[in-house]
């Protein structure tokens, strides 16, 4: 039985990626798409690469339009999903790719986002370690899912095994990320223009102001360790998509290269969408573009007494749309890998 899907915000990057990936899904079919300024136009006019869904007409994003589907994916700006989701029935699976339902503490929301807090939904990072197992346990049978922030899930997955095993101090976490501009969405901004990006790199949202900071700390505290601190510095670089996160943490007494490696192999050795690279090998963004995978390389800086975990993923696939679909598969009792590519695209 094929289940019907509506994608709100299909005219944007994240929503368009949901449509693209679902085109190859054996059990989910996109039958309704919505957009904001593009309502009334064919999807193929706005997203010409989406050939299989080109004839779908973008509709207004309203509860009435989204009602009656088996699953609804919300790829909307932050603050736009909360009230809308409250109008959808409990019988439909709703996956929010925005930030509205990620944070479990109202104080975290208020410190980083405007508007009302709408509460937390199960977090859509299945492989993330928790105090009792993995996050996928909370997704089975769920009717509401909060897809992750792309930067947040990259850093959380890179550090969680070491944090959970007590191999690093949580009060001295550092992450520096090279990120592509598609993470900002399909919007016209001067700093995202090619003329501003090409041949340059620019740090932004520095000094603890990036909205993904509380999301990372929440995810890592979910492993059962004390909530720590994170110095988080994203750097905008001229690649259309992708994240390369270099994450470091101070090693705890007794932590060794062997113990670190064992912790990561135990955490991710059986995961289909996380590739733990061999010793001495670090990931590149190119190897994960188009794939629903995270590639992680490890090193121990003995002189500095720090763990170095480098993670790469495609921010629009594993960082957003792929994570949303993977989580939806679990919630619906489908094959977790259905519709999701493992091979990347090169060159």
Task: Give the closest residue to 280 by CA, choosing from 303, 297, 302, 292.
Answer: 297
Please confirm, yes or no, whether 247 is among the known catalytic residues: no
Backbone φ and ψ for 122, nearest 5 degrees, come out as -55, 135
Rounded Cα distance between 338 and 22, Å, is 9
Give the whole-angstrom CA distance, residue 8 versus residue 69. 12
Contact at 8 Å (CB) between 242 and 285?
A: yes
Cα Dmax for the chain: 62
Number of helices (H), then strands (E), in the chain: 11, 13
**How is residue 147 written in tokens?**
């897809």
Helix (H) or strand (E) holding 5: strand 3-8
Rg (alpha carbons) of the chain, rounded to whole number: 19
d(CA 37, CA 40) in angstroms, rounded, equals 9
Which residue from 189, 219, 178 is spatially nearest to 313, judged by alpha carbons?
Answer: 178
Helices (H), the chain: 13-22, 43-46, 63-66, 82-86, 106-112, 136-139, 150-164, 194-197, 213-221, 257-268, 322-331
Active-site hit among 33, 120, 150, 267: 150
Contacts of 21 (CB under 8 A, 6+ apart): 292, 317, 321, 322, 325, 339, 340, 341
SS3 track for 143-192:
CEEECCCHHHHHHHHHHHHHHHCCCEEEEEEEEEEEECHHHHCCCCCHHH
State the catalytic residues: 150
């Amino acid at each position: 039985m094929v289940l019907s899907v509506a994608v709100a915000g299909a005219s944007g990057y994240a929503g368009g990626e949901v449509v693209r990936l679902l085109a190859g899904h054996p059990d989910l079919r996109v039958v309704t798409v919505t957009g904001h300024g593009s309502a009334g136009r064919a999807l193929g006019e706005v997203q010409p690469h989406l050939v299989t869904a080109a004839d779908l007409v973008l509709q207004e994003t309203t509860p009435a339009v989204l009602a009656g589907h088996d699953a609804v994916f919300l790829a909307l700006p932050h603050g736009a999903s909360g009230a809308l989701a409250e109008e959808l029935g409990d019988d439909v699976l709703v996956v929010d790719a925005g930030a509205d339902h990620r944070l479990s503490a109202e104080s975290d929301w208020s410190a980083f986002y405007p508007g009302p807090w709408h509460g937390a939904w199960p977090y859509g990072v299945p492989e993330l370690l928790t105090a009792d197992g993995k996050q996928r346990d909370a997704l089975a049978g769920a009717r509401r899912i909060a897809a992750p922030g792309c930067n947040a899930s990259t850093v959380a997955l890179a550090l969680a095994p070491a944090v959970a095993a007590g191999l690093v101090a949580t009060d001295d976490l550092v992450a520096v990320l090279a990120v592509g501009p598609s993470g900002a969405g399909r919007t016209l901004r001067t700093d995202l223009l090619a003329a501003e990006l090409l041949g340059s790199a620019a740090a932004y949202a520095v000094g603890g102001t990036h909205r993904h900071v509380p999301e990372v700390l929440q995810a890592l505290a979910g492993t059962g360790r004390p909530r720590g601190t994170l110095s988080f510095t994203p750097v905008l670089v001229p690649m259309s998509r992708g994240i390369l996160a270099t994450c470091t943490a101070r090693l705890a007494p007794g932590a060794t290269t062997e113990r670190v490696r064992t912790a990561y192999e135990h955490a991710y050795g059986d995961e289909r969408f996380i590739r733990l690279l061999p010793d001495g090998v670090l990931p590149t963004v190119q190897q994960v573009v188009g794939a629903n995978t995270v590639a992680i390389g490890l090193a121990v800086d003995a002189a500095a007494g720090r763990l170095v975990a480098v993670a790469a993923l495609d921010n629009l696939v594993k960082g957003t749309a792929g994570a949303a679909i993977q989580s939806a598969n679990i919630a619906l009792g489908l094959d977790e890998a259905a519709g999701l590519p493992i091979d990347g695209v090169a060159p």
